[in-house]
Amino acid sequence: MKARFALPALLAFLPFVLLSPAIGGPSLLEEKARPDLRALVQEYVEAGDLEKAISALNAKKATPGQLLATLREPRKQDEEPKAGQQTLELEDGHGRKTDLIVVAPSEQQIKAHAKQGLGLVVLLHGLGGKAKDALPIAEALAATGDVVAVAPSAQPLPEGEGNEDGVPAAIAKNFKHWWLYDSPRSFPLEAIKKARSLYAIDPDRVSIGGASMGGFGTWNISLRRVDRFSAIAPIAGMLSRQFYMPGAKDEKSTSLLENGKSLPAFVAHGTADNVVPFKPDKEACDKLKELGGQVDFRALEGVAHKFDGIFDGKGEISLALMKHLTSHKRNPAPDAVTYVSVGDRLDGAFWLRVAKREKGAQKVRLEARAMRRENKIGLIAEGVELARVYLDERLLDLSKPVTVECGAKKTERKKVVAEFKAILESWRSRQDEKLVYPAYVEIDPRP
């Protein structure tokens, strides 16, 4: 694996290898959207057949520029949005079904947010609970007139899935249901997708919070998929169930904190909590602060494992939590990204991705910075056989050659053109109009 070193060392005069530009379409930003391409793209999202999708696009005489423009337009709702509370059925990527509670503002507020979009808050309940446990805070959030709140019910873990924190089976069997962390189609992520099909949602204002088991889920889902969220609020949770064992360390889970440097966190935990220990949560917050993260930690002196005035939209702490979840905005184009991957399905964040992991790698980590003046990206990689850098015109001038440097290697795109493959794959992985890209560069960072 590649040793870690400072970014300035990447920027010296280095030999380079040219990456031949792929065949693409016309200029990136000059073409108009074609709504008729949406159904074709949705078929690709569901089936994953890239070759078939590209053939279908060519048959429609579509260009990559038209496809990019189409996917970057705010999506239209599947049906007339409904005010108030409703309960829907939600299915995840593992065939499990559950109930999803959705609470929306008034019809007037929904219409008022039609262009800029409402915020969205995902709420996760605790062990043994149901979606309805989140109703008090969901109703308080919707009453602000600015956000939609969604709360799925957890279900027993699917066969062969879960237990991402690696707790012994003797401990794991005590949890009749749990939130999935690594899955790209878990209930919390599918809840986001469902809400976006029902309401005009601003993708830069999607936050997540939860209490107890929901606090575990909030920490772990958000740190794995940091580019999906604007803010997090884990209440009385922990990074890992391994911390139930005295003296235990979970370096895998703790390493994820590096992903959260740009994700504002509001954390509250009772000092007398005898169900989920206070100390590991406090230590995680201290570590995140050391890494440069933004953390508002509330130590609740003498409070046990209870959430009155915290997760109900009433008390001072609850009001502060609600403000946190509704006031932050995601930066969809950060000029620097750091990502630690702890699973094969965790491919990166924003424009930086792990295309192929090194076999047997103990740690997989990417760090990169875009430098517009030089029109290049400096990259550090550990445990990565192939890194992918999506090219974002918000960070680089794509009308000029773009370079990616990593150690003694330099890869250059002399001409950047929009490509079906880059557009489709970046869309399928996030389905987010702010995170779909026209092209990419791949580089083997190994010496």
DSSP codes, 105-136: --HHHHHHTTTT-EEEEEEE--TT--GGGGHH
Q: In this predicted structure, what is the pLDDT of residue 173?
A: 86
Residue indicated by tokens 């999202």: 45
What pLDDT shows up at residue 166?
92
- Give the C-alpha distances (Å, rounded to integers) separating 104 from 75, 139, 144, 236, 336: 18, 8, 10, 26, 35
Identify the pLDDT of residue 77. 82
Alpha-carbon span 433 to 147, nearest angstrom: 19
Rounded CA-CA distance 288/282 in Å is 10
Amino acid letter, 352? L
pLDDT means per 10 residues, the chain with 447 residues, are 42 35 47 96 97 98 97 87 97 97 98 96 97 97 98 94 90 92 97 97 98 98 98 98 92 97 97 97 98 97 92 93 98 98 97 96 96 97 98 97 95 95 98 98 95
- On whether the CB atoms of residues 318 and 310 are closer than 8 A, the answer is yes
Residue whose structure tokens are 């190994």: 446
pLDDT value of residue 2: 42
The domain defined by 84-327 carries CATH number 3.40.50.1820: yes
Residues of the chain with CATH 3.40.50.1820: 84-327
pLDDT of residue 29: 59
Residues whose CB is less than 8 angstroms from the CB of residue 288 and which lie 6 or more positions away in sequence, other chains included? 257, 260, 261, 265, 295
Backbone angles phi and psi of 345, in degrees to 5: -90, 5
Burial class (CB in 10 A: 0-12, 13-18, 19+), 391: buried
Give the separation between CA 286 and CA 325, rounded to whole angstroms: 20
> Rounded to whole angstroms, how far apart are CA atoms 238 and 364?
23
How many other C-beta atoms lie within 10 A of the C-beta of residue 353?
23
Q: How far is CA 328 from the centre of its chain?
A: 15
